[in-house]
Amino acid sequence: MTRNFLLSSASAALLAASAGGAVAAEVNVTSLGGAYQRSQELGYGQAYEKAGNKINWNVYSGGLGEVRSQVESGNVIWDVVDMNNADSNIGCAEGIFEKIDLAEVTEPAPDGAGVDDYLIKRPNDCAIGTVIYSWTYAYNKQVFPAEKPTVVADYFDTAKFPGKRGIWSSPTQAIEMALMADGVPTKDIYDYLEENGEEAVDRALAKLKALHEDRNGGLVFWNGGAEPPELLAKGEVVMSTGWSGRFYDAVVKEGAPIEQVWDGQIMDFQNFVVLKGAPHLDSAKDFLRFATATDNIAETVRYIPYAPWRKSAGDKIMANEPWSEDGKTMVGPYLSTAPANMTNYLEMGSDYWQNHQDEINERWIAWKSGL
Amino acid sequence: MVSTTNALTYLKTSSWRMRRTSVVGFMLMAPLALLIVLFLIVPLVRFVVLSVDNREIAQALSQTAAALETWQGADVPGDAAFAAFNRDLVRETEKGSIAKLGARLNFFQGGMNSLIRKTITRSSDLEPTRTAFEAVDKRWGDLKTWRAIKLATNPAIPEYYFNALDLRTADPTAMVSVEVKPEAQRVYMRLWLRTILVALLVVFVCTAIGYPIAYYLSNARGLAFAVAMGMVLLPFWTPLLARIASWVILLENGGVINSVLVALGLVDDANRPQILHNLFATVVVMSYVLLPYAVLPTYAVMKRVQPSLFKAALTLGATPLRAFLTVYLPQTLPGVLAGGILIFVLSFGFYLTPELVGGPSGSLIGNLIAYNFSKSLNWGLAGALATMLLLVIAAAALVLRAVSPQPEQES
Amino acid sequence: MKLAIRIWVLLGLVFLALPLFVIIPLSFTAGQYLFYTPEMLALDPNAYSTRWYAAVLGDREWMLALKNSVFIGLSAAALSTVLGTLAALGLSRSGTPLKSFWAALILLPQIVPIVIIAGGLYSAFSDLKLIGTYTAVIIAHTVLAAPVAVITIRASLQRFDWRLVSASATLGAGPFYTFWNVTLPLIRPAILAGAIFAFATSLDEVVVIQFIGGYDQKTIPREMLIGLREHLSPAILAVATMLVGFAVLILILGEFLRRRAESYARKST
DSSP string across A104-129: GG-PPPTT---GGGBSS--SSSS-EE
| A41 CB within 8 Å of a chain C CB | no
Tell me the pLDDT tens digit for each residue of A271-315. Answer: 999 999 999 999 999 999 999 999 999 999 999 999 999 999 999
Contact A220 B359 (CB under 8 A): yes
- All residues of chain B having their beta carbon less than 8 Å from the beta carbon of residue A354 are 114, 117
DSSP state at residue B156:
B
Contact C126 A226 (CB under 8 A): no
pLDDT over 60 at B314, yes or no: yes
DSSP state at residue A62:
S
Q: Cα A133 to chain center, whole Å? A: 6
Tell me the pLDDT tens digit for each residue of B127-158. Answer: 888 999 999 888 899 998 999 999 999 999 99
Chain C nearest CA to B306, separation (Å): 20
In angstroms, the first-to-last Cα distance of chain C is 44
Does A177 or A146 have the greater pLDDT score? A177
Amino acid identity of C16? L
In angstroms, the first-to-last Cα distance of chain B is 39
Contact B204, C186 (CB under 8 A): no
Q: Which of C9, C26, C87 sits opposite B212 (nearest CB)?
A: C9
Contact A225 C230 (CB under 8 A): yes
Contact A73 C214 (CB under 8 A): no
Chain A nearest CA to C174, separation (Å): 49
Chain C nearest CA to A255, separation (Å): 11
What mean pLDDT do residues C50-57 have?
Answer: 91
DSSP string across A197-252: HHHHHHHHHHHHHHHHHSTT--EEEE-STTHHHHHHHHTS-SEEEEEHHHHHHHHH
| B393 CB within 8 Å of a chain C CB | yes
What mean pLDDT do residues A149-164 have?
Answer: 94
Question: Nearest CA to B26 among C106, C138, C9?
Answer: C106
Q: Which pLDDT score is estimated for C183?
A: 84
Contact A260, A254 (CB under 8 A): no
Q: Which pLDDT score is estimated for B82?
A: 93
Q: Which of A73, A75, A230 sits opposite C232 (nearest CB)?
A: A230
Contact A73 C131 (CB under 8 A): yes
Residue A15, number of CB atoms within 10 A of its CB: 11
Tell me the pLDDT tens digit for each residue of A218-253. Answer: 999 998 888 899 889 888 899 999 999 999 988 888
* CA distances for C255 relative to A152, B230, B235, B240, C193, angstroms: 60, 11, 15, 20, 8
Q: Cα C55 to chain center, whole Å? A: 26
Lowest mean pLDDT among B258-262, C31-35, C43-47: C31-35
DSSP string across chain C: -HHHHHHHHHHHHHHHHHHHHHHHHHTTBSSSSSS--HHHHTT-GGGB-SHHHHHHHT-HHHHHHHHHHHHHHHHHHHHHHHHHHHHHHHHHSTT-TTHHHHHHHHHHHHHS-HHHHHHHHHHHHHHTT-TTSHHHHHHHHHHHHHHHHHHHHHHHHHT--THHHHHHHHTT--HHHHIIIIIHHHHHHHHHHHHHHHHHHHHT--HHHHHH--GGG--HHHHHHHHHHTS--THHHHHHHHHHHHHHHHHHHHHHHHHHHHHHHHHH-
pLDDT over 90 at A184, yes or no: yes
Question: Nearest CA to A268 among A81, A85, A31, A62?
Answer: A85
Question: Nearest CA to A231 among A164, A175, A172?
Answer: A164
In angstroms, the first-to-last Cα distance of chain A is 68
| B87 CB within 8 Å of a chain A CB | no
How far apart, in whole angstroms, are the C-alpha atoms of residue C228 and residue B242?
Answer: 10
How long, in residues, is chain C?
269
Q: B48: nearest CA in chain C?
A: C120
Q: A94: nearest CA in chain B?
A: B99
Contact residues for C96 (Cβ-Cβ < 8 A; gap 6+)? B21, B22, B25, B26, B28, B29, C90, C102
| A74 CB within 8 Å of a chain C CB | yes
Contact B36 C22 (CB under 8 A): no
Does A214 or C165 have the greater pLDDT score? A214
3-state helix, strand, coil in chain A (%, to 5): 45, 20, 35
Residue of A72, A94, A208 to mutate, interface with B, max B Cβ within 10 Å: A94
Chain B nearest CA to C134, separation (Å): 15
Tell me the pLDDT tens digit for each residue of A99-113. Answer: 999 999 999 988 888
Q: Which of A58, A75, A254 sits opposite C126 (nearest CB)?
A: A75
Tell me the pLDDT tens digit for each residue of B150-188. Answer: 999 999 999 999 999 999 998 888 878 899 998 888 999
Name the helix (H) or strand (E) containing A46.
helix A46-50
- All residues of chain C having their beta carbon less than 8 Å from the beta carbon of residue B21 are 93-96
- Give residue A22's pLDDT band: very low, low, confident or very high (50, 70, 90): very low
Residue B367: phi, psi to the nearest 5? -65, -35
| B180: helix, strand or coil | strand
| A370 CB within 8 Å of a chain B CB | yes
- All residues of chain C having their beta carbon less than 8 Å from the beta carbon of residue A59 are 226, 230
Lowest mean pLDDT among B97-101, C111-115, C264-268: C264-268
Chain C nearest CA to A230, separation (Å): 7
Chain A nearest CA to B35, separation (Å): 22
